[in-house]
Structure 1
Amino acid sequence: MSRKRNIFEEVGEGAKRASAPAGGVIDGSRKGARRAIRVWLSALGVLVVLMIVAGGLTRLTDSGLSITEWQPISGALPPMSADAW
């Protein structure tokens, strides 16, 4: 920082005009990338709607209430011997 920077921009008649930046990275990218993203997000949206519908049907038909106590980690071990069966 050897020289001071100006806080304000000179906007008089004799001042140089800054050139506009040349387009963004997104606008200059391939068109196929936008289409792929659109397809991906649409597929995710459809899957979310399908999960909501499946959950609603499960609730309406009471078919999700058959597993009232499910302990996959802390205690749902099958019988380990023939006598336990």
Structure 2
Amino acid sequence: MATMNVSLPTDMAQFVEDEVEGGGYASSSEVVREALRLLQRDKALEAERLAILRREIGIGLADAAAGRFSQKSVKDIADEVRRDHLGE
């Protein structure tokens, strides 16, 4: 495993120390590794969302080019998204 020295602001260093002292982690390295795993996961989710958005935009552009347009209003679409994805 590679070793790396990292400088942290006081509040972040204190957070790491608190996590170790609280028993959640055996070392400061474990805290940093967990933080980096979470960052990697967030970046992967962001990339996936962007890929989905690009795909959906492509579908919409292709539909528009073929003359296929929805009769739904922006409000109808927003209500549908809220209902289907947000449980409202």
Q: What's the TM-score bracket when you normalise by the shorter of the two chains?
A: 0.3 to 0.5
**Greater helix share, 1 or 2?**
2
Larger Rg: 1
TM-score by length of 1: 0.42
